[in-house]
Structure 1
């Protein structure tokens, strides 16, 4: 992407400073404009005037929304990079910006336009590398799922037929063997064969659950939850608010894998005795909520590497289908995982804080 194609929106209550900086950025190949309030920034974005990067002043004058609150609201529904820009550099200000944006904080001083330009260019380099990483990650996930599907078919078609033939031959041998001493050997062979069949079926389902393709996402989740209960002895409650929904192959697989990963985390880390999975849908959103009564954890300290990678994987899968992944957990209070995505029948942008979605979420909470 060439610099002149990149749109930078400056949010600054000082109209003179904002316009001056916009003129400087425009001279250096950017398409830059200014607004003087957080409300005006949100209005632009909500009306589909979406910049490639926002340079956000923290203090935006009395009576209105400040830059931190504006950034928080933006990041709920939009993936727009924000660079914070402020004349305040006290410890409290720096602390409040620490987890707000990964694209940095610029101390606002007169005449530092060159520094701002350099920072913006560095931010765009980071954005480009993140895009490349996401594309690579999506490609690797796609290859992995294709390999899984191929292996599942091969195991089912080739190994499955061989095992079936072996079982038939064993039945014939059982009937033909008159000597009593052969019966324990045959019985042992049958036990090994039955165990192999069970493990083969489990492997096929792990690689690519056939029920996902034949019966849809609701039945696939129902099957997986029953298997999870049997495997780990954890009580599972499934509350699908819909009978079935055609999500399409990519979305169905992503939702299934997210629930699968969330339940794996429950089994490995939570110490939970009960887990509930809710599925809801309305005209705009599709919602999945996984709640457990486990030990919980401090969200900032994902010290356990496997849990950290699991959360990253679930986040990436949700974003790849146009959705959002959220996790809420506190020590001693269990964990709540929420996945929301646009309804597949409507080509509408995701509204994570929409009234409709709040009603869905409240309905789930009332039932728990």
Structure 2
């Protein structure tokens, strides 16, 4: 081993010698070297055991170990590699071979360490980028929630103005035209037919105004609650489209905060709009349940027997994207199950105490 130490010193390497395995472990742990040239046959503890202990210690496990031994059969080499060695040089060794293998493993170790540093740096950069993205997403969800609140408030304001101002004006006009029609009819005036036609137009406008106001903000949602509003909307939807609707709820009424009740109603409303536009369905089933799952929440499903659609089409639907965003802002989740020719099922869960979903 003295010749080997001299060879390494002459090649410019700093060398520390240990007389046995125990001292080798103490030396390596106190000041970890860049590489260990380890004789297999040593007093007290053989080289394989020394290597295993080096690899079991976090301070020394990454140090490359090259075995030196007169035992050169295949089984001895396999034993060395299993113990954690990176190379095995059989005695008598050639100086050039020892130096070449030493240089190769030192360079490999250096490159590996540099790669690990780069990986750690890249991981830290990705972690920082992930935190930045998550913060941006949180701000976007907060903004989306604010915009939804503002949108609903604006819808409610417009609905009230339509009902209170335009609605009252149309009602007064309808009453006056009714009186004129009655007088003209009693006198047999030809103007009566024109008045009757005008009255019919006004009545159609009143009906349209009510429908628009309900679409903007259903008054029943504020006055009677979610259950009554959904039931009324389904009845109107069925009457208008001819599509049979079935409603199932496990509560006569749901005690929900306003934005949660509004979100459930809007998801039902948008899902039914999609049924009319795309599904070609003859039957729709809506189910709303309050449950204790995941800390308590509302489970909602809208299922139709229409033509269904492929998964790729989902990304192109603004209605479905809007539903996902509305549910996500409240910390919920929305799943869509649909295949061509097999109908569509939209299922949502909204927590009773929603927070923005990640």
Class of the TM-score when normalised by the shorter of the 2 chains: 0.5 to 0.7
Match of 1:294 in 2: 306
The answer to whether the Cα contact below 8 Å between 2:332 and 2:354 also exists between their aligned partners in 1 is no
Displacement, 1:126?
1.8
- Structure 1 residue 168 and structure 2 residue 180: aligned? no
Match of 2:159 in 1: 152
Where 1:272 maps in the other structure, the secondary structure is coil
Where 1:279 maps in the other structure, the secondary structure is strand
Of the three residues 252, 276, 279, the one matched with 1:243 is 252
Where 1:281 maps in the other structure, the secondary structure is strand
Match of 1:217 in 2: 226
**CA-to-aligned-CA distance 1:30-80 (integer Å, 9 cap, x gap):** xxxxxxxxxxxxxxxxxxxxxxxxxxxxxxxxxxxxxxxxxxxxxxxxxxx
Q: Distance in 1 between matches of 2:321 and 2:331?
A: 16
CA RMSD between the two structures: 2.4
Where 1:120 maps in the other structure, the secondary structure is helix
Match of 2:62 in 1: none
Match of 2:87 in 1: none
Displacement, 1:206?
0.9
Match of 1:5 in 2: none
TM-score, length-scaled by structure 1: 0.60
Consecutive unaligned residues of structure 1, counting only runs of 5 or more, are 1-15, 21-108, 351-368
Q: Distance in 2 between matches of 1:144 and 1:285?
A: 24
Consecutive unaligned residues of structure 2, counting only runs of 5 or more, are 1-54, 60-114
Displacement, 1:179?
3.0
Q: Aligned pairs, how many?
A: 239
Alpha-carbon distance change, 299 to 202 in structure 1, aligned in 2, over 3 angstroms? same
Superposed, 1:126-141 pairs within 5 Å as 126-141=133-148
Q: Distance in 1 between matches of 2:201 and 2:166?
A: 15
Q: Distance in 2 between matches of 1:228 and 1:172?
A: 33
Of the three residues 275, 279, 294, the one matched with 1:266 is 275
Of the three residues 197, 200, 204, the one matched with 2:206 is 197
Displacement, 1:233?
2.1
- Structure 1 residue 285 and structure 2 residue 297: aligned? yes
| Structure with max Cα Rg | 2
Match of 1:330 in 2: 339
Match of 2:24 in 1: none
Match of 1:314 in 2: 323
Q: Distance in 2 between matches of 1:292 and 1:317?
A: 21
Where 2:274 maps in the other structure, the secondary structure is helix
Where 1:336 maps in the other structure, the secondary structure is strand
Where 1:268 maps in the other structure, the secondary structure is helix
Where 2:342 maps in the other structure, the secondary structure is coil
Displacement, 1:349?
9.5
Alpha-carbon distance change, 192 to 118 in structure 1, aligned in 2, over 3 angstroms? same
Displacement, 1:204?
0.7
Where 2:311 maps in the other structure, the secondary structure is coil
Q: Distance in 1 between matches of 2:257 and 2:320?
A: 23
Where 1:296 maps in the other structure, the secondary structure is coil
Q: Which has the higher helix share?
A: 2
